[in-house]
Amino acid sequence: MRRRGMPGSARNSQQKVLLMGRCEAGKTSMRSIIFANYIARDTRRLGATIEVEQSNVRFLDNLVLNIWDCGGQDAFMETFFTTQADILFSHVQVLIFVFDVQSSDVQKDLEVFQSCIETGILKHSRDAKIYCLIHKMDLIPKAQRDELFQARKQELEHLSKPLQISCFATSIWDETLYNAWSTIMSLLIPNSLILKRNLKKFADHIDADEVLLFEKATFLVVAHHMRKQHSDPNRFEKISNIIKQFKLSCNKMQSNFTSIEIRNSSFAAYIELFTSNMYIMVVTSDPAVCSDAVKMNINTAKQFFKECV
Amino acid sequence: MDDDDVQIPGSYNQCSALANMQPHGDDPEIDTKPKIILMGMRRSGKSSIKNVVFHKMPANETMFLESTTKLQKDDVSKNCFMDYVVYDFPGQVDSMTDSAIDYTNMFEGRCALIYVIDVLEDKGPAVEKLVSILSTLDRENKLDNGLDRRTAEQSKHSANVSVFVFIHKVDGLPDDQREEEQKRIETSIRDELNHAADITLNFKTWLTSVYEYSIFHALSDVNEKLIDHLLPTFEDLLHRLKITCCMDTTLLMDVSAKCYIAKDNDFTDHNKYEMCCDMLDLYTDIANIYSHQPYDDDSYSCVILHQVTAPEVMLTKYLRNNLILVCLLQESCLKERGIINQNIRKFSKGIGKVLQVQSEKPCS
């Protein structure tokens, strides 16, 4: 069966993702929560990563992530920038560098980051997208978080010149982790423009307030379309987090949900299994929109989306 | 499940259930709200329990709670269906002779004493303190000996304090050690009670942790004791709903505290209860994003689950006063959604009548 798609889109796009940072920054915890169905509390049991742990993760239909989780102990890091630099840093599409916000040696963290950029990225993968995650923000009192984050961000942007970087404040205890990873992932999806365009058509057609598409295993938001303004700009990652937690607790009972309908007098939300690797969420606030009609429309759209992904 | 496929949900009649309900209000003493009294050693976890269950505090924030220095009285009925006053004792209060605290009337009316023991600390002093509290209560004839509610009518007034022991912070104990620890503590309490105070008492112990569902289970159990005058009626109504709609399980839950208020007569699966708690969390979190008031008269949710056996459906419908109906049924029953909705409406009216009778004061 011939697949329809944009000319030139990679049939099976392989993306090499380098996950680096000093010892106990939280790299493996993050990876386990996003891709391996861990809950935050379970990450206590994780041990130190030895050298490099490689894993392949399929994301949607046509994206394979080749994740290199690099152990952060100083001994390993030294070899990474010398003897292993070639192997490690060539053909990297994404570098994710994780900083423990409460690190006892911030200067060393910055030095390591700088080595990474200079001896690694600049030499072998100049086009790699660079993301810096300022992690474990839950340990900082709320009032101080923004200031601390902005200060670190400025330092990192300075150190990485002339390359562009994006920074995120994250924690495994709230939705900020989902925000960072959703953003990173949605920029890697080969046909995200088509998805967004089709989602807009669908949302307009059924009079929805907003429509979201989630990847099935991770519940990261891969595309969304908003027709009505909403006061909370962080709601997408909150929803990812909320639904993922529910999914994990269903899994504990050896079950999984295929359909959720949530309603009160102000809104209705429908979360349905959409394609073999995506869930869709439709939110309406118009009481004239009938629940069975929405479900029928979602069903009809499934076939269409299956063919264009 | 063949029978269920053949049966069609029928019409729900709550009248006979209400006719059997015990009249309430004969009793002039019970005009104060039921009480939950939390006692235990310092840092045993009393305030954590109160905050996690009644004030929706996330478990990992309880680490930052400051020590309770004065007796705290919380009326939790604002957000919860459970209409109680929760007394949170400071841990350093040594016995019931502390002059700073007014004990008169504290143990009047329906009370549940929850004694919290930190399983990771030395149990000796905790057990001694419990025994001393129980001796005092026993001298005043207040201890409810745990007799079954349907036969304990006579003792209702003088013996009104039910005792629960929460063996707390069990998340720090490996699974295989928990039961053993529970037995050990129970035996030690019974021995000490017998030996030092010559009391034989039926009390209930629970292994609990704020990081697990166990704390909600335990409080559901406490709640069952405190509303035992209402329970037969609720259970009957639930059971009738379950039968007429061909449902697997029906539960009444408190939306805020996530405890079950009543369950149908056959409910035994605790895993299902935990899923219902998660379902409530899901509903509340999403409704908080898309509306100002998560629960109103139209609040409804439906989750279809696929599992090893047949697909199952979890329905929730908000009733009133922070009370929510949770139903588990087979997907095939959803075909008769019209009748099910109608029956749930009748059920809701029935619950409303029960609560109305309950709140009517006796004529003076």
Q: What are the pLDDT digits (tens) for B192-230?
A: 888 877 777 788 889 999 888 889 989 998 888 888 788
Decide if A303 touches B, using CB distance below 8 A.
no
Q: What is the pLDDT of residue B175?
A: 84
Of A243, A249, A259, the CB nearest to B304: A259
Distance from the A120 Cα atom to the nearest Cα atom in chain B, whole angstroms: 39
Q: What is the pLDDT of residue B335?
A: 83
Decide if A267 touches B, using CB distance below 8 A.
yes
**More confident site: B265 or B151:** B265
Q: What is the pLDDT of residue B100?
A: 61
Question: Quick one: DSSP state of residue B90?
Answer: -
Decide if A173 touches B, using CB distance below 8 A.
yes
Looking at B169-178, B196-205, B226-235, which range is the least confident one?
Answer: B196-205
Q: Classify strands A221-226 and A210-215 as parallel, antiparallel or unpaired.
A: antiparallel
Q: What is the pLDDT of residue A8?
A: 38
Contact status, residue B242 vs residue B5, Cβ threshold 8 Å: no
Q: What is the pLDDT of residue A98?
A: 92
When computed from its CA atoms, the radius of gyration of chain A, rounded to whole angstroms, is 21
Contact status, residue A169 vs residue A149, Cβ threshold 8 Å: yes
Q: What is the pLDDT of residue B104?
A: 65
Q: What are the pLDDT digits (tens) for B308-355?
A: 777 889 999 999 888 999 999 888 888 888 888 899 999 999 888 888
What is the arithmetic mean of pLDDT over B277-282?
Answer: 91
Cβ-defined contact of B290 to A258 (cutoff 8 Å): no
Whole-angstrom distance, CA of residue A93 vs CA of residue A67: 11
What is the arithmetic mean of pLDDT over B95-105?
Answer: 64
The proportion of chain B whose per-residue pLDDT surpasses 70, expressed as a percent, equals: 82
Question: Among all residues of chain A, which has the CA nearest to that of B212?
Answer: A41
Give chain A positions within 8 Å (CB) of B307. 253-256
Q: What is the pLDDT of residue B5?
A: 41
Q: What are the pLDDT digits (tens) for B3-46?
A: 334 445 566 665 555 554 444 443 333 346 788 888 888 888 88
Of A255, A265, A267, the CB nearest to B305: A255
Question: Which of A211, A221, A262 would best serve as a mutation to test chain B binding (most B beta carbons within 10 A)?
Answer: A262
Whole-angstrom distance, CA of residue A131 vs CA of residue A184: 8
Cβ-defined contact of B301 to A239 (cutoff 8 Å): no
Q: What ipTM did this prediction achieve?
A: 0.83
Whole-angstrom distance, CA of residue B88 vs CA of residue B117: 14
Task: Using the predicted structure, report yes or no on whether residue B150 has a pLDDT greater than 50.
Answer: no
3-state DSSP call for residue A165? strand
The overall average pLDDT reported for chain B is: 80
Q: Tokens in use for B246? A: 């061909």
Whole-angstrom distance, CA of residue B327 vs CA of residue A270: 19
Question: Among all residues of chain A, which has the CA nearest to that of B316?
Answer: A262
Whole-angstrom distance, CA of residue A26 vs CA of residue A102: 12
Distance from the B319 Cα atom to the nearest Cα atom in chain A, whole angstroms: 12
Of A243, A255, A269, the CB nearest to B306: A255
Q: Tokens in use for B294? A: 């998560």
A-B contacts (CB, under 8 Å): 96
Whole-angstrom distance, CA of residue A218 vs CA of residue A35: 6
Question: Which of A229, A253, A267, A286 would best serve as a mutation to test chain B binding (most B beta carbons within 10 A)?
Answer: A253
Q: What is the pLDDT of residue B355?
A: 85
Of A232, A235, A249, the CB nearest to B278: A249
Cβ-defined contact of B282 to A260 (cutoff 8 Å): yes
The proportion of chain B whose per-residue pLDDT surpasses 90, expressed as a percent, equals: 12
- pLDDT tens series, chain A, 309 aa: 333 443 434 456 788 888 888 888 888 888 888 888 888 878 888 888 877 888 888 888 778 888 888 888 887 777 878 888 888 888 888 999 999 988 888 888 888 888 888 888 888 888 888 999 999 988 888 888 999 999 999 988 888 888 888 999 999 888 899 999 998 888 888 778 888 898 999 999 888 999 999 998 889 998 899 998 888 888 998 899 889 889 988 888 888 899 999 999 999 999 999 988 899 999 999 888 888 889 899 998 988 887 765
Q: What is the pLDDT of residue A90?
A: 84
Q: What is the pLDDT of residue A233?
A: 86
Decide if A231 touches B, using CB distance below 8 A.
no
Distance from the B118 Cα atom to the nearest Cα atom in chain A, whole angstroms: 21
Distance from the A280 Cα atom to the nearest Cα atom in chain B, whole angstroms: 15
Compute the half-sphere exposure of residue B152: CA atoms within 13 Å on the CB side of its CA.
18
Whole-angstrom distance, CA of residue B81 vs CA of residue B65: 25
Decide if A251 touches B, using CB distance below 8 A.
no
| DSSP H or E stretch at residue A98 | strand A94-100
Q: What is the pLDDT of residue A213?
A: 92
